[in-house]
Amino acid sequence: MLTRVLPILCFSLLSACAGMDGGRGIPAPVEDRSGAGAPVQGQSTTTPVPAQPATPPAARTNPARSVVPGIDDLPPRTVTPGLPGQPAPAPLEPAPAPMPMPGMPATAEEALLLEVDAALAAGDMERAAAVAERAVRIAPRDANLWFRLASIRARQGRSDEAAGIARRAQSFAAPESPVARQIDEFLRTLP
């Protein structure tokens, strides 16, 4: 008899004394890793259909991990340069691989420069700088890429760094080339 009454008594007491915050407890800390494979523009329903394997690899993937190969690593702006912030256009028509897609970047540098544009358009200067540096690592003697990085630093108000990087850009530019003149002008106007 007592053994049946006690727990009930006990827990009614417990509930009465519950006074920590009333609401539901904060769940255990968890890391949301779904972002790792998440697409940029929320096209999470797209199913990957690689062309190469004999059977399409669509079988046992976790639905929480949306796998969108290809175009999603590029900002939507890729197809409409000059219109930052525009939503992504309709999905591209399938094209026979390996042909470059119209409007798609053909080289790593181009792809990264488009990503720099996207970050700038989103006002994320430091991300833009990070992506520009990624491009510089891929093509370390490209004056244009260094110059791009310099102008981002200038926009961030980091003039000293901008000057150093712009001079480095100049050292890679062909003398008297348009980019060399732009860099000269840039260095002159730097505060």
Window 44-73: residues binding other proteins (CB under 8 A): 48-55, 57, 59-62, 64-65, 67-73
Smallest separation (angstroms) from other proteins to the CB of 189 = 18
Minimal distance, residue 185 CB to other proteins, in Å: 18
41 lies in the binding site for other proteins (CB under 8 A): no
* Contact positions with other proteins (CB under 8 A) in 155-184: 161, 164-165, 167-168, 171, 175
Residue 8 interacts with other proteins (CB under 8 A): yes or no: no
Return the residues of window 125-154 that contact other proteins according to CB under 8 A: 126-127, 129-131, 133-134, 136-138, 140-141, 149
At 65, the amino acid letter reads: R
Report how far residue 120's alpha carbon sits from residue 100's, in angstroms, rounded to the nearest whole number.
Answer: 26
Q: Which position among 1, 8, 17, 90 is part of the footprint of other proteins (CB under 8 A)?
A: 17
Q: Shortest Cβ distance from residue 9 to other proteins (Å)?
A: 7
| Pick 137 or 181: Cβ nearer other proteins | 137
Is position 90 an interface residue for other proteins (rule: CB under 8 A)?
no
Interface with other proteins: number of residues (CB under 8 A): 90
Token pair 């100049």: residue = 170
At a CB cut-off of 8 Å and minimum separation 6, what does 156 contact?
A: 125, 126, 129
Contact 111, 77 (CB under 8 A): no
CB 117 within 8 A of CB 81: yes
Considering the complex, what minimum distance in angstroms separates the CB of residue 89 from other proteins? Answer: 14
Query: Can residue 38 be called a binding residue for other proteins (CB under 8 A)?
Result: yes
CB 130 to other proteins: min, Å: 4
**What's the CA gap between 78 and 68, in Å, rounded?**
17
- Which of the residues 111 through 130 are near other proteins (CB under 8 A)? 111-112, 115, 119, 126-127, 129-130
